[in-house]
């Protein structure tokens, strides 16, 4: 489960999509950029079960950003 999920816009002009995200997963902190096409670019470490984590991130972004 992802914990302490946070996001902020990559650009000052909030009309331009793109977000910097960070969260904890299995006691490890991860950072990434969530781009306008749904691509996730990891900054640093990549979770071992990346596809599962990506699905959780997409769901959180849909709930917080696109709702």
| Residue whose pair of structure tokens reads 């917080």 in the numeric block | 64
Read off the pLDDT of residues 8-22 as tens digits, 9 standing for 90 and up: 988 887 666 789 999
Cβ count near 43 (within 10 Å): 12
Cross-strand pairs, 43: 31
Read off the pLDDT of residues 19-30 as tens digits, 9 standing for 90 and up: 999 999 999 999
Cβ count near 23 (within 10 Å): 21
C-alpha to C-alpha distance for 57 and 53, rounded to whole angstroms: 6
**pTM of structure:** 0.85
C-alpha to C-alpha distance for 20 and 12, rounded to whole angstroms: 12
């Amino acid at each position: 489960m992802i914990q302490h999920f946070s996001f902020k816009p990559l650009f000052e002009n909030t009309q331009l999509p793109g977000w910097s995200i960070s969260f904890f997963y299995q006691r490890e902190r991860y950072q990434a950029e969530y781009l306008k096409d749904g691509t996730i670019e990891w900054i640093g470490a990549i979770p071992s079960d990346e596809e599962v984590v990506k699905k959780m991130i997409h769901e959180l972004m849909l709930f917080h950003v696109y709702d």
